[in-house]
C-alpha cells in the first residue's frame, strides 16, 4: 500500500495579499485589513508581512496596530472578493487532485497520494501548486506536507510559514527532531487553559506530551486526553474528504454589536434577528435542531464577562420564534445585567426534516406555511424585503447585516 501524502495549502496573509494584488501601488507598503473603526469594530483581520515586522498581529485592536505601524495603509475588508478568490484557489487545487477538503477560507487539505504519477514527488507538486497560485492569483501559498492531516497542519503552521521557500515536510522520521522540540502551546488543539494544565503537570514541550503515560492523560481527560497524546505523536486517521461540510453538527450565527447594549428590550431585538437567521439557515439546509445555545460576551476587554448556556427543547424546530423564546429564557436567567457587546445563538442536535417527532400541542403546519412564504420573499427579493418592525428600532441590525458576509462588509 502506497504511503499517504497529505498537503495543507495555506495562503499567506490572505486578505492583505488579495488587496495588494488588486492594488499594485501598495506592493511595498505595510497593509492592514480591519473592520470599521467608526463602529468600534476595529480589529485586525489580516496584516501583510511588512506590517507584521512592526509587531502587528491578527486579532489585535486597530488602534494598537496603528501605534505599532503608523505608516500602515488600513483597508476595510471586502468579504465577497475574498470568498471568490478562495473558490478560485479551490479550482486550481482541483487540477492536482480530486481530493480537496476546504478547511477554512485560506486553508485547504489535499490528498496527493495518487497524483504523484502525474505530477512528480511531493516537493515537486508543492512547488507547482505554489507557482500556479502565484501566477494566476498573485498570492503566495505555503505548503505543509505529511502522511496525515495533523502532521501536514503542523508542518505548515510551525515550519513552512517560517521557511524561505514556504514548504516543509513533517513525518515520523523527523517528528522527534522538529515537532517534539516545540513548546506545548504550539501543538494543534492546545489552548491557553490546556497549556496551563499541562505545564502544571510538567509537560512543557510536545515531546514531553508524546512520551507521557497515556493512562494518566485518559484518567484525567478521558477521550480528549488520548486525542492530545495521539496528536503529539502525529497520529491521525481522519481522511481528506470533499464532504466535510455535508453533515452539519450545528448551525449558528454570531453578532458583534456596534455599541454597548444594556437594555433588555434592545437585546431582545438582537436575539430575535439572530434567531431568524439561524432558523432560516436550518430550513435552507433541511435541518431541525433540539438544543439552543446562547453565548454572550460583555463590553469590557480587561474584565471579561458573559456566559454560554444551552437549553434542550421539547421537540426539534427550525422556526425562529421557538429559538427566540429559548434564547430569551437563557438570557434572562443568566445575564448579569452588565453591558453586552456580542451575542451568538446556535441550534444543535440536528436531524433532517424528513424524520422527526411531531408536537401534538403546537401549530407546526401553520408555522411551516408562514415560514415557507417568508423564505420565498427572502430568496426572491433579498434579506431586507420583509423585516419585523422591531428591526426598524435603533437597536435593530438587520439592514446593516444585509450588506455583510460573515459579519464583515462585502
Catalytic residues: 107
Q: Measured between alpha carbons, how far is 295 from 274 in angstroms, rounded to an integer?
A: 12
Three-state DSSP at 347 gives: strand
Query: What strand order describes the sheet that includes 287-298?
Result: 250-261, 340-352, 287-298, 306-317
CA 87 from centre of chain? 16
Nearest to 6 by CA among 184, 140, 154: 154
Find the radius of gyration of the CA atoms of the chain: 24
| Rounded-to-integer distance, Cα 101 and Cα 245, Å | 9
Report how far residue 290's alpha carbon sits from residue 315's, in angstroms, rounded to the nearest whole number: 6
Residue in the structure block whose three cell numbers are 431582545: 268
In contact, 159 and 168? CB cutoff 8 Å? yes
Residues 6 or more apart in contact with residue 201 via CB below 8 angstroms: 212
- What is d(CA 337, CA 66) in angstroms, rounded to the nearest whole number? 33
Q: d(Cα 264, Cα 271) in Å, to the nearest integer?
A: 10
Q: Where are the beta strands (DSSP E) in 150-203?
A: 167-169
**Close Cβ partners of 209 (under 8 Å, ≥ 6 residues apart):** 184, 187, 198, 203, 228, 229, 232
Residue 322 assigned ligand-binding role? no
The three three-digit cell numbers of residue 199, written as one number:
505545564
First-last CA distance in the chain: 47
Longest dimension (CA), the chain: 66
375 carries a ligand binding annotation: no
* CB 102, CB 243: distance < 8 Å: no
Task: Round to whole Å and give the CA distance between 109 and 243.
Answer: 12
Q: Which of 213, 188, 189 is CA-nearest to residue 201?
A: 213
CA distance 95 to 85: 16
Q: What angle do CA 181, 221, 290 make, to 5 degrees?
A: 120
Annotated binding site for Mg(2+): 10, 106
Amino acid at each position: 500500500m502506497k504511503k499517504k501524502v497529505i498537503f495543507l495549502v495555506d495562503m499567506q496573509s490572505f486578505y492583505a495579499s488579495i488587496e495588494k494584488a488588486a492594488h499594485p501601488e501598495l506592493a511595498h507598503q505595510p497593509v492592514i485589513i480591519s473592520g470599521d473603526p467608526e463602529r468600534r469594530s476595529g480589529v485586525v483581520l489580516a496584516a501583510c508581512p511588512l506590517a507584521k515586522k512592526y509587531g502587528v498581529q491578527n486579532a489585535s485592536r486597530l488602534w494598537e496596530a496603528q501605534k505599532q505601524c503608523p505608516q500602515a495603509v488600513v483597508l476595510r475588508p471586502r468579504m465577497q472578493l475574498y470568498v471568490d478568490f478562495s473558490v478560485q484557489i479551490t479550482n486550481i487545487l482541483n487540477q492536482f487532485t480530486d481530493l480537496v477538503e476546504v478547511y477554512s477560507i485560506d486553508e485547504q487539505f489535499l490528498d496527493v497520494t495518487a497524483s504523484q504519477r502525474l505530477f512528480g514527488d511531493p516537493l515537486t507538486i508543492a512547488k507547482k501548486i505554489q507557482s500556479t497560485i502565484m501566477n494566476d492569483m498573485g498570492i503566495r501559498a505555503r505548503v505543509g506536507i505529511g502522511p496525515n492531516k495533523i502532521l501536514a497542519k503542523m508542518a505548515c503552521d510551525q515550519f513552512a510559514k517560517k521557511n524561505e521557500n514556504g514548504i516543509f515536510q513533517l513525518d515520523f522520521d523527523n517528528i522527534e527532531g522538529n515537532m517534539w522540540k516545540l513548546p506545548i502551546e504550539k501543538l494543534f488543539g492546545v489552548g491557553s487553559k490546556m497549556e496551563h494544565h499541562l505545564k502544571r503537570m510538567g509537560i512543557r514541550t510536545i515531546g514531553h506530551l508524546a512520551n507521557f503515560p497515556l493512562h494518566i492523560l485518559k484518567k484525567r481527560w478521558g477521550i480528549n486526553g488520548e486525542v492530545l497524546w495521539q496528536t503529539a505523536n502525529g497520529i491521525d486517521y481522519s481522511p481528506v474528504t470533499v464532504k466535510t461540510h455535508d453533515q452539519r453538527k450545528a448551525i449558528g450565527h454570531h453578532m458583534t454589536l456596534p455599541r454597548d447594549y444594556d437594555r433588555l428590550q434592545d437585546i431582545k431585538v438582537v436575539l430575535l434577528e439572530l434567531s431568524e437567521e439561524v432558523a432560516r439557515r436550518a430550513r435552507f439546509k433541511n435541518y431541525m435542531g433540539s438544543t439552543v445555545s446562547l453565548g454572550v460576551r460583555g463590553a469590557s476587554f480587561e474584565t471579561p464577562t458573559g456566559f454560554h448556556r444551552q437549553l434542550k427543547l421539547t421537540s426539534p424546530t427550525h422556526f425562529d420564534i421557538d429559538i427566540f423564546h429559548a434564547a430569551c429564557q437563557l438570557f434572562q436567567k443568566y445575564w448579569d445585567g452588565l453591558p453586552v457587546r456580542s451575542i451568538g445563538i446556535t441550534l444543535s442536535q440536528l436531524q433532517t426534516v424528513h424524520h422527526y417527532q411531531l408536537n401534538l400541542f403546537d401549530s407546526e403546519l401553520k408555522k411551516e406555511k408562514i415560514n415557507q412564504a417568508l423564505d420565498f420573499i427572502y430568496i426572491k427579493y433579498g434579506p431586507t424585503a420583509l423585516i419585523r418592525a422591531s428591526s426598524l428600532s435603533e437597536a435593530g441590525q438587520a439592514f446593516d447585516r444585509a450588506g455583510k458576509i460573515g459579519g464583515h462588509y462585502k
